[in-house]
């Protein structure tokens, strides 16, 4: 049995790509996209027609609506391949606007439903700012399920649980990147690998907290740098993995067993937490890594959203 098949025994495998032609090879259950992945896809010749067709069909409309139609077009193509769900992201430029985030999410769902896709097959991705989490709580109460992305800290995970969001995406690799850069020449890779990887530790802490208190929000580890990080989180609810790392897992027959077990969490001594807005903002502020990576991630997604706008306008 290869590592990918072994992983599927413990964890729902999700393809982290906008390149839907790669997805079928690895037979994931779900797929996730983001502005960067869609931008990368539409720059490839094989996907350029999707962009030009969408731009031509809706020419003269508001650019934000045309972008959403392109995102939904990709999402529909992906859903014709995967049996589960696709995650589609609200424009990151709305990350601090509750009302606008809710409105954009509702529009995305309306677009999917107009294509015959039931809302249960779509997760609306929203950045895990305080405002994003508040918007997600509103959406969940309306029956629109959410995936809270750019999640780097425990306080974000707790606030998401309080809002009863469907799923969170803690970013393993970006946490690892920050600590490695901060350590500089003092970084020892062997001491920070597998279960000791700072990104893996972050997800493990959230996993045990959620399972200890019976929290229904699903945890989907994301943003992996190597297969060791993936193996160290086998047993997590879901893991979203790039095609490159899916290929490595499929090519390896090294042993891969369960690393995270929800039953172990039951006996752990873990304090139950609650964050109001002030406590959340303070806790996030005190976590330099999470503060840096959340801001950096939003800026990067905003830049890619602007690039996608320009591509559509010039198509």
| Three-class SS of the chain | CCHHHHHHCCCEEEEECCCHHHHHHHCCCEEECCHHHHHHHHCCHHHHHHHHHHHHHCCCCCHHHHHHHHHHHHHHHHHCCCCCCEEEECCHHHCCCHHHHHHHHHHHHHHHHHCCCCHHHEEEEEECCHHHHHHHHHHHHCCCCEEEEEECCHHHHHHHHHCCCCEEEEEHHHHHHHHHHHHHHHCCHHHHCHHHCHHHHHHHHHHHHHHHCCCCCEEEEECCCCHHHHHCCECECEEEECHHHHHHHHHCCCCCCCCCCHHHHHCCCCCCCCCCHHHHHHHHHHCHHHHHHHHHHHHHHHHHHHHHHHHHHHC
- Known active-site residue 125: yes
Rg (CA), the chain: 19
Q: Distances in Å between the alpha carbon of 56 and those of 61, 68, 107, 275?
A: 10, 14, 20, 47
Which among 44, 125, 266, 293 is annotated as catalytic? 125
Active site residues per annotation: 125
């Amino acid at each position: 049995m290869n590592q990918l098949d072994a992983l599927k025994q413990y964890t729902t495998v999700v393809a982290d790509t906008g390149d839907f032609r790669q997805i079928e090879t690895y037979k994931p259950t779900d797929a996730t996209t983001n502005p960067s992945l869609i931008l990368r896809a539409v720059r490839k010749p094989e996907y350029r027609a999707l962009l030009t067709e969408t731009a031509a069909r809706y020419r003269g409309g508001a650019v934000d609506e045309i972008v959403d139609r392109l995102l939904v077009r990709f999402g529909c193509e992906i859903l014709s391949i995967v049996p589960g769900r696709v995650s589609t992201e609200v424009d990151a430029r709305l990350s601090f606007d509750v009302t606008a985030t809710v409105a954009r999410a509702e529009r995305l769902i309306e677009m999917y439903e107009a294509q015959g896709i039931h809302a249960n097959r779509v997760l609306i991705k929203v950045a895990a700012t305080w405002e994003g989490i508040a918007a997600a709580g509103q959406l969940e109460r309306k029956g629109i399920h959410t995936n809270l992305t750019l999640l780097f800290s425990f306080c974000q995970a707790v606030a998401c649980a309080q809002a009863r969001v469907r799923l969170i995406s803690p970013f393993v690799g970006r946490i690892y990147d920050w600590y490695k850069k901060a350590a500089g020449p003092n970084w020892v890779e062997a001491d920070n690998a597998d279960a000791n990887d700072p990104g893996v530790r972050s997800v493990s802490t959230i996993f045990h907290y959620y399972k200890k208190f019976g929290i229904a929000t699903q945890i989907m580890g994301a943003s992996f740098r190597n297969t060791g990080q993936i193996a160290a989180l086998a047993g997590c609810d879901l893991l979203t993995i790039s095609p490159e790392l899916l290929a490595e897992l499929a090519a390896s027959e090294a042993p891969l067993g369960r690393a995270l077990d929800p039953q172990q969490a039951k006996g752990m001594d873990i304090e139950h937490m609650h964050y109001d807005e002030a406590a959340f903002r303070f806790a996030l502020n005190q976590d330099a890594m999470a503060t840096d990576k959340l801001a950096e991630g939003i800026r990067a997604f905003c830049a890619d959203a602007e690039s996608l706008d320009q591509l559509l306008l010039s198509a």
